Structure 1
């Protein structure tokens, strides 16, 4: 029966795409952290390229149109696996599990459309100020406040001059954001090593696990009146590398082409270097009697979430394979909390906790069901449907999507006995969502959005 239900001939043409991003599903999920390359028989290798094009439009609470904020996004996935003997297997996987790419354009509340002079006048409430006057005033105040009190100012005059300098510097820093738009980009990379050991009367069970090396980096710009006093905030989180682990259990029954695997990935704790610019932080701190800078270079703790994947396939008849995938990610436990942003938010919230820059309310569930049909010894086609729960609604304005429904098609062609090429696509209907800023104020609404994914895969397999 093994030759009747040949897994190689029945392989699904396109491996499951976890369609997730700040512009397409729950949290920052992107690749779905697929490990099915390691579950293949014999020696196996694959290279997968994925391209995502999402159309995410809406309106701000002022009624302005928000053009497509979702930037096109692509990434690669690689995997290689081989059997050492009939018991032990090793493999290495590479993917880009988490990411975001959003850019607000046009004329809306997420764009700083005002001129530098208008921003200065709006912040200081003085219609006579402009960039040149502010620069001259800052220079004069800095001279007056030089060590040694060269102008012989009284304590009251010194205090007044310091307050004026704080306000003018905050206005000047805010003016530097004129004409800029809200943007976010998050990138990550995973390299996973896996060692598996088979056991059971027919080696039908396998336990596997190994270390994970992960890198993350991010850039965020908040602009426009939607972010209120946080407009002008900028954060750069430098690339950081840290470590986690993976563990799982699989079962196979070749007679019916059955394979099932349950895989757990640990959370990974990062301590990255973060550079923040908050133009009005000094003024806000002065108002509350706290000394806050407009820039800060500090460490930030970011913990990427744990996850659980369930992969299942079974033969229905000698030419048809059924597949199912389920994924869970606890995004409700995830948050990005830069220290300067959090300190300024404590003033606004008047508590000791402050606000996170990015956080989510719900956990993510992804379910995908598929069928693959072998049309000839060399050609197989596949179809699938999927659902993603999203991570809450309202959700962060940096990724205003509440999950999706999807339908996909693919095909796999065996070029030779060992080499195959696969290609396919998936269409996505995104869930409507309200975008909110960290204080839970709703600032936008996104409806009737969609997107698509296309991918190609080159694979090699040699049975042992």
Structure 2
């Protein structure tokens, strides 16, 4: 089977800064629209063994604070990533299978800290050159085909990157170094089961070890005289989704699901990630165009949790009532 996918998201993430004598000025929308692409190939070598490859973009960011926000004006971050996963699945019998593979991941980033909230650090920039590294994934699944039951457990390892870094501190010479950055390990459980004729219950639960991700270049640690200074402030998080799918006829099927992302224990967050938890609802549909071609699409509305951007432990603004609308399209070709 060959698969192509595309996604589009339009986030609206804005807030107000703390009053420094000019009133609570608006930040404007700090998040830009973005698109993601993916592809996959799976080939059944036999009744028991299948091989495949998945291409996707696991992480990303595009943040910019407008000039109307003096505390954080010009603060920006971009993150780009790509991953290629080669995997194999082996079926021991009708009910039990195992899967695993190698993940080749590349990441690059650029961060600028600017505005009165950063004090003497305002104007700092760090450019992280693209780096590629290897991790792995492994898992198992249990199935009962007669009732469309499938439960799968999958673990993705941490991936350790060594990124060539160019830091430009305010009023000082540029610093070149290598920054070690770890993308997080995740563990996920997904399930589906028939609950009535042509009706399917599905869901997932995932844990992401985000706290292991620290971006701590040598120049930042030197300027702040803090050996643990980091451009990130991430907490571990759980995500869950639960939904129902329904086949209407031989051509058409639809689905409805709701989801949740855990809110962090601390309301204070990095200005580079001004959300804290989320809930969402998704509506999807699929069309079996021919015996070998299936087209699927969906729309999701996400409501982000309130967040309080901070620097040096002090609140710098309030972000509340933010949301995003996203859409995706997938084409599957069987052979």
TM exceeding 0.5: yes
Query: Equivalent of 1:411, from 268, 285, 288?
Result: 285
Quick one: higher RCO (CA 8 Å, sep 6+), 1 or 2? Answer: 1
User: Is this contact kept in 1: 2:39–2:54, CA < 8 A?
Assistant: yes
Task: State the partner residue of 1:441.
Answer: 314
User: Is this contact kept in 1: 2:120–2:170, CA < 8 A?
Assistant: no
User: Is this contact kept in 2: 1:345–1:354, CA < 8 A?
Assistant: no
Task: State the partner residue of 2:13.
Answer: 56
1:235-384 residue pairs with structure 2 within 5 A? 235-280=126-171, 282=172, 294-346=173-225, 353-360=227-234, 362-384=235-257
- Which has a greater percent of helix? 1
Q: Which runs of 5+ in 2 are unaligned?
A: none
Instruction: Decide which structure has the larger Cα Rg and report it.
Output: 1
Alignment partner of 1:225 is 2:123:
no
Alignment partner of 1:429 is 2:283:
no
1:398-433 per-residue CA deviation (whole Å, 9 max, x = no partner) reads 111011111111110000011011111011111000
Task: Determine the C-alpha separation between the residues in 2 that align with 1:255 and 1:298.
Answer: 57
Task: State the partner residue of 1:34.
Answer: none
1:314-366 per-residue CA deviation (whole Å, 9 max, x = no partner) reads 111221111001111011222100110111111xx5xxx24112122x21111
Task: Determine the C-alpha separation between the residues in 1 that align with 2:97 and 2:228.
Answer: 47
Shift of residue 187, structure 1, vs aligned partner: 0.8
Q: Quickly say closer, same or farther: Cα 1:433–1:358, change in 2 above 3 A.
A: same
Task: Determine the C-alpha separation between the residues in 2 that align with 1:417 and 1:318.
Answer: 22
Q: Quickly say closer, same or farther: Cα 1:195–1:223, change in 2 above 3 A.
A: same
User: Following superposition, which runs of at least 4 residues in structure 1 exceed 6 angstroms of deviation?
Assistant: none
User: Is this contact kept in 2: 1:427–1:453, CA < 8 A?
Assistant: yes
1:236-274 per-residue CA deviation (whole Å, 9 max, x = no partner) reads 100000100010001111100111110000000000100
SS at match of 1:341: helix
User: Is this contact kept in 2: 1:52–1:73, CA < 8 A?
Assistant: yes
Shift of residue 188, structure 1, vs aligned partner: 0.8
Shift of residue 233, structure 1, vs aligned partner: 0.3
Task: State the partner residue of 1:165.
Answer: none
- Which has a greater percent of strand? 2
Query: Equivalent of 1:194, from 77, 87, 110?
Result: 87
1:198-229 per-residue CA deviation (whole Å, 9 max, x = no partner) reads 113xx311111111100000011111112111
Q: Which runs of 5+ in 1 are unaligned?
A: 1-43, 113-180, 283-293
Task: State the partner residue of 1:456.
Answer: 329
SS at match of 1:229: helix
Q: Quickly say closer, same or farther: Cα 1:75–1:459, change in 2 above 3 A.
A: same
Q: Report the number of matched residues.
A: 330
1:74-117 per-residue CA deviation (whole Å, 9 max, x = no partner) reads 101211112111111111011111111111114112455xxxxx
SS at match of 1:312: strand
Task: Determine the C-alpha separation between the residues in 2 that align with 1:329 and 1:45.
Answer: 28
Q: TM-score, normalized by length of structure 1?
A: 0.69
User: Is this contact kept in 2: 1:363–1:390, CA < 8 A?
Assistant: no
User: Is this contact kept in 1: 2:71–2:316, CA < 8 A?
Assistant: no
Task: Determine the C-alpha separation between the residues in 1 that align with 2:82 and 2:194.
Answer: 34
Task: State the partner residue of 1:216.
Answer: 107
Task: Determine the C-alpha separation between the residues in 1 that align with 2:308 and 2:79.
Answer: 21
Q: Quickly say closer, same or farther: Cα 1:237–1:187, change in 2 above 3 A.
A: same
Task: Determine the C-alpha separation between the residues in 1 that align with 2:149 and 2:69.
Answer: 53
Shift of residue 303, structure 1, vs aligned partner: 0.5
User: Is this contact kept in 1: 2:2–2:42, CA < 8 A?
Assistant: yes
Task: State the partner residue of 1:68.
Answer: 29
Coordinate RMSD, CA, aligned: 1.3
